[in-house]
Amino acid sequence: MTEKQHDSAREFEARLESEPARFSFVLYVAGATSRSLRAVQNAKAACEELLQGRYQLEIVDIYKNPQAARDEQIVAVPTLVRKLPAPLRTVIGDLSVRDRLVASMGMAA
């Protein structure tokens, strides 16, 4: 590695360390049930409160997109999957236990 490449690598690492982590979540729900709606509300509220401007939340209704659930091997809903940052993490349920959600997803501020 040349000196210039080495400097660029250090600058990149420094920038990564100084920027807040970006989070990417996928929430799998089953229709508009009260449990699904509660999970959506709880996920959005936690993300807005703790990760404002640093997250992406995709909602997947397995009734409308059953292939997505099969592809990701989702066996229960609601299920929240953290895609980024690695490693992949999963929480099953309506996400009403905020402390469990925050700890499981590494969302602590």
Q: Domain residues of the chain, as ranges?
A: 23-105
Task: State phi, psi for 73 to the nearest 5 degrees.
Answer: 55, 45
Question: Each residue of 26-66: pLDDT tens digit?
Answer: 999 999 999 999 999 999 999 999 999 999 999 999 999 99
Q: What is the 3-state secondary structure (H, E, C) of 77-105?
A: CCEEEEEECCCCEEEECCCCCHHHHHHHH
- For residue 72, count other CB atoms closer than 10 A to its CB: 17
Q: Of 16-25, 71-80, 98-107, where does mean pLDDT reach its minimum?
A: 16-25
Question: Each residue of 89-105: pLDDT tens digit?
Answer: 999 998 888 888 888 88
The CATH class of 23-105 is alpha beta
| 24, β-bridge pairs | 56, 84
CB-based contacts of 93, cutoff 8 Å, min separation 6: 39, 78
Residues 12 and 4 sit within 8 Å (Cβ to Cβ): no
The whole-model pTM stands at 0.79
Which pLDDT does position 16 carry in this prediction? Answer: 45
Residue 106 CA to chain centroid, in angstroms? 9
